[in-house]
Structures are given as C-alpha cells and as structure tokens.
C-alpha cells in the first residue's frame, strides 16, 4: 500500500456542467483522511454532496449544491 502524504483531493465540479465552481472549492483534508472515501465523508460533514450528472458523479461544495 502506498501512502500519499497530501491525501486525496476532492474539488468542486461547479453548480452545473458549463460552470466552474466560483470558489474553486476543495474539501479540506483532515488529518488521517487519506482515501477518497474518507475525504468525501469529511466533506459531507461540511455540507458537500455528490450528484449524478450526465452519467458521472459530480462533487459539489455547499455553495454549489442546489437548494
Ligand atoms: Zn463549488
């Protein structure tokens, strides 16, 4: 198993297919969160969501998540 010291970065895919995230947001990586699953679990606590969009999953920061 390989350790990546910076962990796995999950960045926001923006409010829709044509629009980049205005904040260029990325989930802040917490100590001990190394995998995509762990980082996304951290993000959910901060209001991040994942949505299926055009056949793939998009990660959305709290600011880009549709109300
Ligand atoms: Zn965003």
Q: From the CA of 1, how far away is ligand 1's center (Å)?
A: 31
pLDDT of residue 6: 63
CA 66 to chain centre: 15
Indicate the pLDDT class of residue 2, thresholds 50, 70 and 90: low
pLDDT of residue 45: 95
The residue-averaged pLDDT of 15-32 equals 92
The residue-averaged pLDDT of 9-14 equals 95
Neighbours of ion ligand 1 (CB under 5 A): 12, 21, 25, 61, 64
Q: Are 33 and 47 in contact (CB under 8 A)?
A: no
Q: Are 37 and 8 in contact (CB under 8 A)?
A: no
Q: What is the pLDDT of residues 32-57, one digit of tens each?
A: 898 999 999 999 999 999 999 989 99
Whether the predicted pLDDT of 3 surpasses 60: no
Q: Are 61 and 28 in contact (CB under 8 A)?
A: no
Question: Which tokens go with 29?
Answer: 């990586």
């Amino acid at each position: 198993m390989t350790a990546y010291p910076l962990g796995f970065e999950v960045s926001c895919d923006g409010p829709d297919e044509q629009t980049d995230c205005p904040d260029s947001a990325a989930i802040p990586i917490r100590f001990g969160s190394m995998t995509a699953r762990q980082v996304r679990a951290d993000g959910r606590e901060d209001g991040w969501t994942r949505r299926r969009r055009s056949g793939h999953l998009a990660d959305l920061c709290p600011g880009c998540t549709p109300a």
